[in-house]
Amino acid sequence: MNLSNEHSLRQEKIRTLMNQSNIDAALITCNVNLLYICGQIISGYCYLPVTGEPLYFVKRPNGLKGEQIVYIRKPEQIVEYLNEKKIPSPSTLMLEGDELSFTEYSRLAKVFISAKCINGTPIIRAARSIKTTLEIELFRQAGAAHTHAYQQIPSIYKEGMNDRQFSIEIERLMRMEGCLGLFRVFGQSMEIFFGSVLTGSNAEAPSPYDFALGGKGLSPALPGGLNGTKLKKGNTVMVDLGGNFNGYMSDMSRVYSVGKVSEEAYRAHQVCLEIQSEVTTLAKPGAICEDLYNKAIEIVNKEGLSDKFMGTRQQAKFIGHGIGLEINEAPVLAPRIKQELQPGMVFALEPKIVIPGVGPVGIENSWAVNKDGVEKLTLCPEDIIDLQEFIPNA
């Protein structure tokens, strides 16, 4: 597909929503939105009118060419350029209100002093939630690379490892498959490096971050994920690393064990697989996010596992989330979310259960919604894999 046509298609999706809200133009400057709209990150601004060609006001990098490229030193020069070219100033201007700092938002609003400025972040995120054909293909490629890295995980296990040592080796596998290593998250409330590797009782530790499971972390400076716990016989270890191989965040969790684990853990894992099967059978265009969440709750209640579902000491109140250029996009499979699934949405479904004294079990895969249902993008064995079976002469 011609990439210029692809970016025009994405811009048109935003413009359609702008037109519905009587917005004359958007000024876009945040990295992930620039990547979506023009295919690269710049230090500068994309001025996107509801009609007409977009303009790119660039501070860095040097050397970009094109009729729509205008080099500037400061945003005040944008209005000067529009006036010089006799381009009408907008009456209503869309800014990334949920992403810009107060200072930057205020400065840009002052630059366009005659315009009414509104928060355009929800509009951009709504447009991004419906992926194009090319974006779905990029997800497939990311899912394949993610899968290939995970398939090699048993080969890097060594007896006596702790979760940090195990994670480092898995991160290397991911990097060798082309993972960029950047874990993009929307908002200021979540931070993590690569993802999480959780084993034993650390999976029960509450975290301030809104991830499915917490973990104590190695330091109060990053209070989530692995914490140096040794991988012990009879415990499970869940690998949940984000797969940013081309900008698009595939998401996948798999569970490993050190030797055999309790029957309760194996049973709970099967319950999570049942939830995945039931929810994805229902996940068709028009399905309501809350209904999919409620189906999961119905199953865990029936199985008597509700007190361990999505954590023990702190339980996450969702079972899935949209993914894209960031790990937390729309839709969200959670209570009170009435949004309907639409073709082109991509989400991660992650039913997980924590067994005290053993560790986490469950599953996470990435799924693309099509006209008939969903397509699984992360194709990797889903049973609990015993790492000890892969030790030579074990």
Percent of residues, the chain, with pLDDT higher than 70: 99
Residues 6+ apart with CB under 8 A from 97: 105, 118, 119, 120, 121
Q: Which of 253, 266, 285 is nearest to 349 (CA)?
A: 253
Residues 6+ apart with CB under 8 A from 72: 44, 57, 58, 59, 78, 81
- What per-residue confidence (pLDDT) applies to 1? 37
Give CA–CA dist 364/245, Å, rounded. Answer: 18
User: What is the average pLDDT across 281-293?
Assistant: 98
The superfamily (CATH) of domain 3-128 is: Creatinase/prolidase N-terminal domain (3.40.350.10)
**pLDDT tens per residue, range 190-222:** 889 999 999 999 999 999 999 999 999 999 999
Question: How far from 105 is each of 108, 111, 128, 306, CA to CA, in Å?
Answer: 5, 10, 22, 44
- What per-residue confidence (pLDDT) applies to 224? 96
User: pTM of the predicted model, to two decimals?
Assistant: 0.95
CB-CB contact of 233 with 258 (8 Å): yes
Give every strand in the sheet of 55-60, ordered side by side.
69-71, 55-60, 43-49, 25-28, 92-95, 116-119
- What per-residue confidence (pLDDT) applies to 369? 98
Q: Which of 81, 79, 77 is nearest to 67 (CA)?
A: 81
Percent of residues, the chain, with pLDDT higher than 90: 96
113-117, 132-136, 189-193, 207-211: least confident range: 189-193
Give CA–CA dist 232/237, Å, rounded. Answer: 9
User: What is the average pLDDT across 248-252?
Assistant: 97
Question: How far from 128 is each of 14, 23, 131, CA to CA, in Å?
Answer: 8, 18, 6
- What per-residue confidence (pLDDT) applies to 107? 98
- What per-residue confidence (pLDDT) applies to 41? 96
Give CA–CA dist 275/349, Å, rounded. Answer: 10
Q: Would you place residue 151 in the very low, low, confident or very high pLDDT band (cuts 50, 70, 90)?
A: very high
User: What is the average pLDDT across 263-278?
Assistant: 98
**pLDDT tens per residue, range 4-38:** 799 999 999 999 999 999 999 999 999 999 999 99
Is the pLDDT assigned to residue 394 strictly greater than 80?
no
Residue whose token pair is 């979760």:
163
Question: How far from 300 is each of 269, 275, 292, 307, CA to CA, in Å?
Answer: 11, 8, 13, 9
φ, ψ for residue 7, nearest 5 deg: -70, -35
**pLDDT tens per residue, range 354-391:** 999 999 999 999 999 999 999 999 999 999 999 999 98
**pLDDT tens per residue, range 83-101:** 999 999 999 999 999 999 9
CB-CB contact of 199 with 229 (8 Å): yes
Give CA–CA dist 310/319, Å, rounded. Answer: 8
The Cα angle at residue 83 between residues 7 and 6, in degrees rounded to 5 = 5
Give CA–CA dist 226/63, Å, rounded. Answer: 43
**pLDDT tens per residue, range 301-350:** 999 999 999 999 999 999 999 999 999 999 999 999 999 999 999 999 99
Q: Would you place residue 189 in the very low, low, confident or very high pLDDT band (cuts 50, 70, 90)?
A: confident
Is the pLDDT assigned to residue 110 strictly greater than 60?
yes
The domain segmentation of the chain, as residue ranges, is: 3-128, 130-390
Whether the link from the prior residue into 331 is cis, omega within 30° of 0, is yes
**pLDDT tens per residue, range 39-82:** 999 999 999 999 999 999 999 999 999 999 999 999 999 999 99
Q: Would you place residue 166 in the very low, low, confident or very high pLDDT band (cuts 50, 70, 90)?
A: very high
Please give the mean pLDDT across all residues of the chain: 96
Give CA–CA dist 242/174, Å, rounded. Answer: 9
The Cα angle at residue 256 between residues 255 and 261, in degrees rounded to 5 = 105
Question: How far from 121 is each of 28, 106, 128, 252, 382, CA to CA, in Å?
Answer: 10, 16, 10, 27, 36
Give CA–CA dist 231/159, Å, rounded. Answer: 8
Q: Would you place residue 393 in the very low, low, confident or very high pLDDT band (cuts 50, 70, 90)?
A: low
Q: CATH classification of 130-390 is 3.90.230.10, yes or no? A: yes
Give CA–CA dist 183/244, Å, rounded. Answer: 7
- What per-residue confidence (pLDDT) applies to 391? 85
